[in-house]
Amino acid sequence: MVELAVANPFTGEEVERLEALLEKDELTLDGAYELRNLAGKAVEEYGQYYEAWKLHLYASIMVGLARKRKCEEKGPAGPP
């Protein structure tokens, strides 16, 4: 039992935060980075499972979408 508790890389707060971030349709850039960091932690510990890599892929896509949204909000950088 103690081995399982030590092997779990996530704290209770991190699990709750991960669930909250996954429930959202859109994330802020900071939220997307936080999700990707948590997903990276999952890959470090559970990299032998496809689900960990799927989570990391999803988180990376969310970072890209959040960055795109932020750039679109700023508008064009200058004349082409």
**Every domain of the chain and the residues it spans:** 14-73
Q: What is the DSSP letter of 58?
A: H
Q: How many CB atoms lie within 10 A of CB 21?
A: 18
Mean pLDDT of the chain: 87
Residue 14 in tokens: 């991190």
Q: What is the DSSP letter of 76?
A: -
| Contacting residues for 46 by C-beta, under 8 A, at least 6 apart | 52
Q: What is the DSSP letter of 26?
A: S
| Contacting residues for 62 by C-beta, under 8 A, at least 6 apart | 27, 32, 35, 36
> Can you give the pLDDT at residue 11?
87
- Tens of pLDDT along 16-51? 999 999 999 999 999 999 999 999 999 999 999 999
